[in-house]
């Protein structure tokens, strides 16, 4: 919990600074835009974060969103799938692809980095192939109001993607931090061997986590597709997996696995989007965009390392104290 | 022999979180002297040797070489003073060849700053050195193609060629066959005659009787005594190591609790592990019985345990409980039938060391503390606290990271996890490895108590005293084969050793 508090304070401080330097930060339109971005990025980042907690990685998220985007467009505007079937097909496909990743990783013992790197290349290629490299979109097609609302609408002034993020993070929070499944996930990520000796079906847990990541990726993908309204197969979603990884790591996930929290990932996403906003509002040359992000992530992770070390030292001291007391009393 | 000893360690102390590993320990080694360092697991032998070998820092005490105080802060420092450490887990690089291993970090080079390895010289010199120690392989052979015994000789060659004046051997014979052991003891004799000092750590007391000039005994991190060549005998060493009679140590009187009902209990029929596919193993453990498993390292006992528990695949497994055949292909199956394993490697397989005590204890039985798959933290914490109290796990709070507990308490956490179920069969694999004597006695009591409550217990142990003290019967394995099962009346160190080394049957 302390970890999340630290990064939350950092987020608040950053917001205060930006709003002092440029009060436009607090304009409703800016805040709404920011929240929309946080929502869209946050949903898949949670999925990616869960995968990172298993000790794995999912690099194909961005490409998959590109592929899903063009397919969704084609399903709705060319193939007359209808909204419900289109949505379901999109989510099902993503889950299926990630099921494949999960099975390759757990059954064939392949490294997640390699499997999902292949996915990154493969899905991008397929997206460009099925579209002949032409940009797809939804134009002014009718009957898609609901989907447009999901991406661009507001509920009581709050952007829908943000509302969805809140709902999804609430559900995943319960699953990860309060349920048996979540505990197994942490155990598996921390020490798969010991988890197996404790009778946990580690392969099943890992595979399931990839599938969940797929579902969340699809939801984000649908939002992004309608948010941009046109999907370029070569660029849509490019490098988004890196945003997800960065958010997760900022939020306290360790790439070694077994560590992280939903709230941390969400705050991490918010921090990243605020940083992007900050670069805009403070008129920092946008070429420095990535440099700023890189620097903040590095500082965040170093600080976290120091805190963890300190907490552990305190526990060891407690242990010493106890054995000293015991030695005295005996 | 010289008057000033080669190595003097005085008042060496070392604390680890939760334990005093060494308390004012002294050790001297003369030139060309073979000193046996003996004591039970956790007595502090390895810690002491790691200090002189430069692997860990001491908290207090002085080290002198030839009467001069020296600082040893790294293995490099130790090597510079002529001290070489040959670890039980050999530290050879098996992706390189013999010569590369011998000259590692001391490669003869040419070409100035390019530091190109002089391949002609390295092989020629290595061949000579290897021959000299009676190792009959080319120095171009990759280490991976040598046997453990040969790899060990390569380490000795490396130590000698680095100018070693004292060689520390930690359990050098633990994975060797009888002939290989014979050969190693001869080499120790030769080294002695070349005036090289040897510190010989071993649990095999007859080896100590044979080669040691002096035996230094450690117990609970303190000097427990010293025996001169003429005084060294088995009984004396054991008494000094244990510090009390074995009868006191193993309470609960094994042998008295015998099979309660015929047919009730656990049975393994024709199990073939992947490591030893040619041999099948069958045995049974009655309810309330403790069956010890003795044998040398690598005899296939741990593989057997893992196959029974379902964490490791086997060619063929058939196990039965109370005469009913069970199908076990994964740990979940074993767990659902009340068959549990407390694995050998506590920190790697037994525990999740970064989890706290509570999470470790409740991990396999989480469903018992949850409703609709959501964990009830109050219930979970109470269960963990109760478990800690029931078997006396020493921790200030159940929220303590398991990594910070002492070895004995870590082991109890692993045990506590299975006691939250109703165990029918418990398999302990080296239950007291690296545990201090006090905790050891507690674990023995727990094992006997479990048996008294009708659990079938299997104890795999490489410690002779332990396996003789705790078991009702002892099964002995040698290279994947069950070479015999001893009844209590047949128990003796010699009988176990004969079966374990495959000299019989």
Mean pLDDT of B112-139: 88
Phi and psi angles of residue B70, each rounded to the nearest 5 degrees, phi first: -130, 155
Chain A: residues touching B (Cβ < 8 Å): 174, 178-181, 183-184, 186-187, 190-191, 193-201, 258, 312, 315-316, 318-323, 326
Q: Are B331 and A199 a contacting pair at CB < 8 A?
A: yes
* Chain A residues lying within 8 Å of B334, measured CB to CB: 199
Residue B70's H or E segment, with its range, is strand B68-70
How distant is the Cα of B110 from the closest Cα of chain A, in angstroms? 41
Average of per-residue pLDDT across B229-250: 73
Note whether B185 and B153 are within 8 A (CB). no
User: In B, which residues are within 8 Å of A312 by CB distance?
Assistant: 401, 404
Between B318 and B3, the higher pLDDT residue: B318
Q: Tokens 């019985």 identify what position? A: B289
B194-214: pLDDT as tens digits:
999 999 998 778 889 999 999
> Cα–Cα distance between A238 and B122 in angstroms, integer?
53
Q: Is A325 exposed, middle or buried (0-12, 13-18, 19+ CB in 10 A)?
A: exposed
Beta strands B222-228 and B214-219: pairing type? antiparallel
Name the stretches of chain A with pLDDT < 50.
none
Q: What is the mean pLDDT of residues B243-253?
A: 54
Taking the Cβ of residue B313 and every Cβ of chain A, the question of whether any pair is shorter than 8 Å is answered with: no
**CB-count burial class (<10 Å; 0-12, 13-18, 19+) for A84:** exposed
**Domain B7-244 adopts which CATH fold?**
Rossmann fold (3.40.50)
Q: Of A180, A187, A312, which is closest to B373 when you measure between CB atoms?
A: A180
Closest CA to B29 of B2, B51, B47: B2
Please answer yes or no on whether A183 and B405 come within 8 Å at the CB atom.
no
Position B394 scores a pLDDT of 85
CB contact under 8 A, A174 and B354: no
Cβ <8 Å between A199 and B396: no
User: Which residues in chain B touch residue A191, judged by CB atoms under 8 angstroms apart?
Assistant: 348, 351-354
Grouping H, G, I as helix, E, B as strand and the rest as coil, residue B173 is coil
For B73, which DSSP code? -
Query: How many of the other CB atoms lie within 10 Å of CB of B274?
Result: 12
Per DSSP, the residues of B396-448 read: S-TTSBGGGS-HHHHHHHHHHHHHTS--SEEEEESTTTT--HHHHHHHHHHHH
Chain A residues in contact with B350 (beta carbon < 8 A):
194, 197
Who among B359, B373, B401 is closest to A181 (CB)? B373
Determine which of A54, A199, A325 to mutate to test the interface with B (most B C-beta atoms within 10 Å). Answer: A199
Confidence of residue B258 (pLDDT cuts 50, 70, 90): very low
Cβ-contact B291, B457 below 8 angstroms = yes
Q: Which of A185, A192, A194, A204 is best to mutate for the B interface (most B CBs within 10 A)?
A: A194
**Pairwise CB contact (< 8 Å): A198 & B363:** yes
Structure tokens at B457: 């217990």
Report the C-alpha gap between A207 and A108 in whole angstroms. 12
A319: nearest CB among B18, B311, B350: B18
Cα(B455)–Cα(A96) distance, integer angstroms: 46
CA of A255, closest CA in chain B: separation in Å?
15
User: For the residues B389-393, what does the mean pLDDT come to?
Assistant: 89
Cβ atoms of B108 and B102 within 8 Å: the answer is: no
Q: What ipTM score was computed for the predicted complex, to two decimals?
A: 0.82
Q: What is the pLDDT of residue B39?
A: 83
Kindly report, residue by residue over B272-323, the tens digit of the pLDDT.
Answer: 888 888 888 999 999 999 999 998 777 889 999 999 999 988 887 889 998 8
Contact B60, B11 (CB under 8 A): yes
Q: Are B332 and A201 in contact (CB < 8 Å)?
A: yes
Please tell me if residue B400 touches chain A, with a CB cutoff of 8 Å. yes
Q: Report chain A residues whose CB lies below 8 A from the CB of B335.
A: 199
The structural domains of chain B, with segments of one domain joined by +, span 7-244, 352-405+413-421
Please name the residue of chain A whose CA is at the shortest distance from the CA of residue B343.
A197
Would you say residue B1 has pLDDT above 50?
no
Contact between B273 and B305 (Cβ < 8 Å): no
Angstrom CA distances, B151 to A30, B125, B352, stand at: 69, 18, 33
Instruction: Tokens for B338, please give them.
Output: 């009340």
Q: Which residues of A touch B400 (CB under 8 A)?
A: 315, 318-319
Subunit contact A190:B354, Cβ cutoff 8 A: yes
**Could A187 and B17 be called an inter-chain contact, meaning their C-beta atoms sit closer than 8 Å?**
no
pLDDT digits (tens, 9 = 90+) for A203-256: 999 999 999 999 999 999 999 999 988 889 988 988 899 999 999 998 888 888
Average pLDDT of chain B to the nearest whole number: 87
Please give the C-alpha separations between residue B87 and each of B77, B146, B393, B433, in angstroms, as whole numbers: 17, 17, 32, 17
pLDDT of residue A2: 67
Q: Which residues of A touch B410 (CB under 8 A)?
A: none
pLDDT in tens, B432-452: 887 776 788 889 999 999 999
Compute the nearest-CA separation of B281 from chain A (Å).
23
Kindly write down the DSSP assignment for every residue of B300-332, as one continuous string: SHHHHHHHHHTSS-EEEEEEEETTEEE--SSHH
Higher per-residue confidence, B171 vs B8:
B8
In angstroms, the separation between the Cα of residue B417 and the nearest Cα of chain A is 9
Closest CA to A8 of A288, A261, A283, A305: A261
Measured between beta carbons, which residues in chain B are less than 8 angstroms from residue A180? Answer: 366-367, 370, 373-375
Contact B271, B477 (CB under 8 A): no
At the topology level, CATH places domain A2-297 in ABC transporter involved in vitamin B12 uptake, BtuC (1.10.3470)
Q: Nearest-CA residue of chain B relative to A183?
A: B363
CB–CB of A199 and B370 under 8 A?
Answer: no
B391 φ/ψ angles, rounded to the nearest 5 degrees: -120, 25
CB contact under 8 A, B366 and A326: no
Judged against a pLDDT cut of 60, whether residue B124 lies above it is answered with yes
Phi, psi of B140 (to 5 degrees): -90, -5
Compute the nearest-CA separation of B221 from chain A (Å): 15
Distance of alpha carbon B441 from alpha carbon A79, whole angstroms:
75
**B77 CB contacts (<8 Å, ≥6 apart)?**
B54, B70, B71
Report the candidate in B155, B49, B46 with the shortest Cα–Cα distance to residue B103: B155
- pLDDT digits 0-9 by tens, B320-347: 998 889 999 999 999 999 999 999 888 8
B162: exposed, middle or buried (Cβ count in 10 Å: 0-12, 13-18, 19+): middle
Question: Residue B245 pLDDT more than 80?
Answer: no
pLDDT at B259 (0 to 100): 44
Tokens representing residue B307 in the block = 């196959």
The pLDDT assigned to B261 comes to 46
Does residue B502 surpass a pLDDT of 90? Answer: no
């Amino acid at each position: 919990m302390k970890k999340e508090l630290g990064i939350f304070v950092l987020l608040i401080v950053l917001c205060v600074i930006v709003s002092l330097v440029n009060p436009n930060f607090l304009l409703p339109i800016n805040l709404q835009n920011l929240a929309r971005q946080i929502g869209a990025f946050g949903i898949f980042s949670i999925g990616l974060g869960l995968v990172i907690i298993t000790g794995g990685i999912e690099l194909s998220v961005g490409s998959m969103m590109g592929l899903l985007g063009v397919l969704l467009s084609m399903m709705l505007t060319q193939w007359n799938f209808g909204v419900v079937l289109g949505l379901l097909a999109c989510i099902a496909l993503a889950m299926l692809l990630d099921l494949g990743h999960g099975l390759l990783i757990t059954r064939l013992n392949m490294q997640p980095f390699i499997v999902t790197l292949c996915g990154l290349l493969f899905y991008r290629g397929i997206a460009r192939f099925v579209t002949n490299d032409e940009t797809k979109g939804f134009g002014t097609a009718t009957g898609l109001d609901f989907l447009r609302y999901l991406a661009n609408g507001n509920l009581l002034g709050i952007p829908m993607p943000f509302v969805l993020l809140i709902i999804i993070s609430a559900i995943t929070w319960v699953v990860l931090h309060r349920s048996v499944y979540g505990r197994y996930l942490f155990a598996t990520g921390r020490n798969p061997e010991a988890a197996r000796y404790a009778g946990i079906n580690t392969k099943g847990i890992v595979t399931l986590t990839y599938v969940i990541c797929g579902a969340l990726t699809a939801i984000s993908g649908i939002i992004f597709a309608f948010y941009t309204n046109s999907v370029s197969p070569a660029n849509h979603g490019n490098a988004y997996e890196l945003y997800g990884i960065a958010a997760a790591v900022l939020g306290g996930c360790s790439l070694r696995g077994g560590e992280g929290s939903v709230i941390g990932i969400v705050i991490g996403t918010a921090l990243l989007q605020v940083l992007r906003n900050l670069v805009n509002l403070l008129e920092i040359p946008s070429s420095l965009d990535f440099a700023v992000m890189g620097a903040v992530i590095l500082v965040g992770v170093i600080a976290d390392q120091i805190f963890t070390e300190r907490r552990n030292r305190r526990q060891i001291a407690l242990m010493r104290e106890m054995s000293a007391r015991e030695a005295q009393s005996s | 022999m010289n008057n000033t000893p080669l190595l003097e360690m005085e008042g060496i102390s070392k604390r680890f979180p939760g334990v005093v590993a060494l308390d004012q320990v002294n050790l001297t080694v003369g030139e060309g002297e073979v000193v046996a360092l003996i004591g039970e697991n956790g007595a502090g032998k390895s810690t002491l040797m790691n200090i002189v070998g430069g692997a860990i820092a001491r908290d207090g005490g002085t080290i002198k070489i030839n009467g001069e105080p020296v600082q040893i802060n790294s293995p490099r420092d130790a090597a510079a003073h002529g001290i070489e450490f040959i670890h039980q887990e050999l530290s050879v690089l098996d992706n390189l060849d013999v010569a590369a291993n011998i000259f590692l970090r001391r490669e003869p080079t040419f070409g100035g700053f390019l530091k190109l390895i002089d391949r002609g010289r390295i092989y020629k010199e290595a061949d000579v050195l290897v021959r000299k120690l009676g190792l009959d392989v080319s120095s171009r052979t990759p280490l991976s193609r040598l046997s453990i015994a040969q790899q060990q000789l390569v380490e000795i060659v490396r130590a000698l060629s680095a100018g070693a004046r004292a060689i520390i051997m930690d359990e050098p014979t633990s994975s060797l066959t009888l002939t290989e052991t014979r050969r190693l003891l001869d080499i120790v004799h030769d080294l002695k005659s070349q005036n090289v000092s040897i510190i010989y750590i071993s649990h095999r007391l007859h080896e100590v009787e044979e080669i040691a000039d002096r035996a230094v005994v450690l117990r609970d991190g303190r000097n427990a005594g010293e025996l001169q060549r003429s005084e060294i005998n088995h009984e004396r060493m054991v008494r000094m190591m244990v510090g009390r009679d074995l009868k006191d140590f193993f309470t609960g009187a094994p042998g008295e609790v015998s099979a309660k009902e015929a047919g009730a209990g656990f049975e393994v029929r024709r199990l073939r592990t992947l490591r030893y596919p040619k041999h099948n193993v069958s045995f049974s453990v009655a309810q309330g019985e403790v069956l010890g498993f003795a044998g040398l390292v690598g005899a296939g006992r741990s593989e057997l345990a893992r196959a029974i528990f379902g964490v490791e695949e086997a060619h063929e497994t058939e196990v039965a409980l109370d005469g009913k055949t069970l199908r076990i292909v994964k740990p979940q199956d074993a767990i659902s039938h009340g068959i549990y394993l407390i694995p050998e490697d506590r920190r790697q397989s037994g525990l999740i060391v970064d989890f706290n005590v509570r999470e470790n204890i409740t991990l396999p039985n989480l469903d018992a503390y949850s409703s609709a798959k959501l964990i009830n933290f109050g219930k979970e914490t109470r269960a963990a606290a109760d478990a800690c109290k029931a078997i006396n796990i020493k921790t200030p709070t159940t929220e303590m990271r398991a990594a910070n507990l002492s070895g004995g308490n870590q082991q109890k956490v692993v045990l506590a996890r299975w006691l939250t179920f109703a165990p029918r069969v418990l398999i302990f694999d080296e239950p007291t490895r690296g545990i201090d004597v006090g905790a050891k006695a507690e674990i023995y009591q727990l094992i006997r108590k479990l048996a008294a409550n009708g659990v079938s217990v299997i104890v795999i142990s490489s410690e002779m005293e332990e396996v003789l003290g705790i078991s009702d019967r002892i099964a002995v394995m040698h290279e994947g084969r069950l070479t015999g099962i001893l009844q209590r009346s047949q128990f003796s160190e010699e009988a176990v050793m004969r079966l374990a080394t495959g000299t019989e049957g």
